[in-house]
A and B are shown apart, each in its own frame.
Chain A
């Protein structure tokens, strides 16, 4: 078993046109920048991106929007200051957006990684984000049905990995990483350092190796 790729480019080279790609991070924190940049370099097109934000400046998801590689975005807060390449791609009509409350986005991913088809949440009930969705009153409270999200690929940023793919995150860069790592058919993680098995104590593993398919070391 060898999960380790020589480079970010080698790790992402098989991502196909039309893939659903889960990209971890909150703002620019915890975003697997090197993997995203390598994906931009592959030229893969017609991607569906699931991410909290839509990139800022010239880095991260901004590159995919700049290259017009994204046809659909599922996000909670895409309209962040600095998301100029996303704004331009959206204004040009090349990308559709599904706006999802942040907690619903996280829970839809958790459901996707857990074999759960969907769930009823009070978030969004009686708002325009519930339009067209099934609603139900349970014990006197209104709920909205939300479907699980599953990805073809997840791009993950870890602080440390071992060679089997056990991952540890650092501080608030953890954010969407653990739920996305579980919600894709193929999970690719970049890590600042890759160590031998046992160097991460079992109690300290945040994402177990069984969820990780590929690894690449990216010096921090």
Chain B
């Protein structure tokens, strides 16, 4: 029986990667949990691509400001020392190589580090790409934070992405409920197993060559 990390524990694990003074962009979905897990002694500037550098926690009920929202259009707050930029500057910050980390949700990650996270083929309508492609090519470190298996039990860590790519060879680290994994030219390299997860279980939950780093 796999135990592994809860979503919250995954978020805490990712937050340990951030050095003091760095900048971080958190994607919609699971990665938003990370904002509440960053240790107090570490100062991190959270970027929201709609134009906030220095995003704070959720507002108290009744204290929402309709002009302060995150990339998911949800009310947030600003930390002391925050700044506001327009869209072109916000993405210059990303694409220009200044953003230290982005943590994105993923539909599939390949063993080459290709990321697919914006469209399911055959889905209805036109889809939406938002800022995902800019973040994937621009951030210094691109983390994928995801459940390792899809709803039908298939691995999302694959030899080749079947879903449309967000960007090729961009993911530098993967965090799932089962552990911490990197991509190394066609192989997934497992750096850490979550508590209660065996090497065998991890191997079975990856649909590509696997190596364990001891």
Chains A and B belong together in one complex: yes
Please give the residue numbers on chain A whose beta carbons come within 8 Å of chain B beta carbons, in ascending order: 26-30, 52, 75-80, 87, 90, 97, 99-107, 109-110, 121-129, 170-179, 206
Contact A126 B125 (CB under 8 A): no
Q: A26-B73, A102-B130, A106-B88 are in contact. List 13 more A-B contacts (CB 8 A).
A: A29-B69, A29-B73, A76-B131, A77-B129, A79-B127, A101-B129, A109-B88, A123-B134, A123-B138, A172-B50, A172-B51, A172-B68, A175-B50
Decide if B49 is an interface residue (CB 8 Å cutoff). Answer: yes
Count residues of B near A (Cβ-Cβ below 8 Å).
38
Q: Among the interface residues B48, B73, B85, B95, which one has the most CB atoms of the partner chain A within 10 A?
A: B73
Q: Among the interface residues A29, A76, A101, A122, which one has the most CB atoms of the partner chain B within 10 A?
A: A101
In the complex, residue of chain B having the shortest beta-carbon distance to the beta carbon of A29: B69
In-complex Cβ contact of B50 among A26, A80, A105 (8 A):
A26
22 residue pairs of the A-B complex, CB under 8 angstroms, read: A26-B51, A26-B73, A76-B128, A76-B131, A97-B126, A101-B132, A102-B131, A103-B94, A103-B134, A121-B95, A122-B95, A122-B138, A123-B95, A123-B167, A125-B167, A127-B164, A171-B65, A171-B67, A171-B78, A174-B84, A175-B50, A179-B86
Docked pose: A76 CA to B67 CA in angstroms: 20
Given A175-B50, A175-B51, A126:B165 Cβ within 8 A: yes
Contact B133 A124 (CB under 8 A): yes
Chain B min CB distance to A140 (Å) = 12
In-complex Cβ contact of B131 among A27, A30, A101 (8 A):
A101
Residues of A within 8 A of B133 (CB): 101, 103-104, 123-124, 127, 129
Decide if B66 is an interface residue (CB 8 Å cutoff). Answer: yes
Residues of A within 8 A of B130 (CB): 76-77, 101-102
Docked pose: A171 CA to B95 CA in angstroms: 22
Contact A126 B134 (CB under 8 A): no
Docked pose: A94 CA to B72 CA in angstroms: 28
Residues of B within 8 A of A178 (CB): 86, 88
The proximity string for B residues 48-78 relative to A, scoring 1 for CB distances below 8 Å and 0 otherwise, is: 1111100000000000011111000100001
Chain B min CB distance to A59 (Å) = 13
Docked pose: A14 CA to B164 CA in angstroms: 42
Docked pose: A177 CA to B67 CA in angstroms: 13
In the complex, residue of chain B having the shortest beta-carbon distance to the beta carbon of A173: B67
Decide if B186 is an interface residue (CB 8 Å cutoff). Answer: no
Given A97-B126, A126-B167, A27:B86 Cβ within 8 A: no
In-complex Cβ contact of A28 among B73, B87, B95 (8 A):
B73
Please give the residue numbers on chain B whose beta carbons come within 8 Å of chain A beta carbons, in ascending order: 48-52, 65-69, 73, 78, 84-88, 90-91, 94-95, 125-134, 137-138, 164-168
In-complex Cβ contact of A29 among B49, B50, B95, B125 (8 A):
B50
Contact A80 B128 (CB under 8 A): yes
Docked pose: A58 CA to B24 CA in angstroms: 35
Docked pose: A175 CA to B91 CA in angstroms: 11
Contact B127 A27 (CB under 8 A): no
Residues of B within 8 A of A129 (CB): 129, 133
Residues of B within 8 A of A124 (CB): 133
In-complex Cβ contact of A106 among B91, B125, B167 (8 A):
B91
Given A123-B133, A179-B87, A174:B127 Cβ within 8 A: no
Given A29-B66, A102-B87, A171-B68, A78:B137 Cβ within 8 A: no
Residues of A within 8 A of B67 (CB): 29-30, 170-173
Residues of A within 8 A of B48 (CB): 172
In the complex, residue of chain A having the shortest beta-carbon distance to the beta carbon of B49: A102
Docked pose: A74 CA to B210 CA in angstroms: 42
Given A29-B66, A109-B88, A176-B87, A103:B95 Cβ within 8 A: yes
Docked pose: A66 CA to B52 CA in angstroms: 32
In-complex Cβ contact of B69 among A27, A87, A126 (8 A):
A27
Q: Among the interface residues B86, B132, B134, B167, which one has the most CB atoms of the partner chain A within 10 A?
A: B86
Chain A min CB distance to B47 (Å) = 12
Residues of A within 8 A of B128 (CB): 75-80, 99
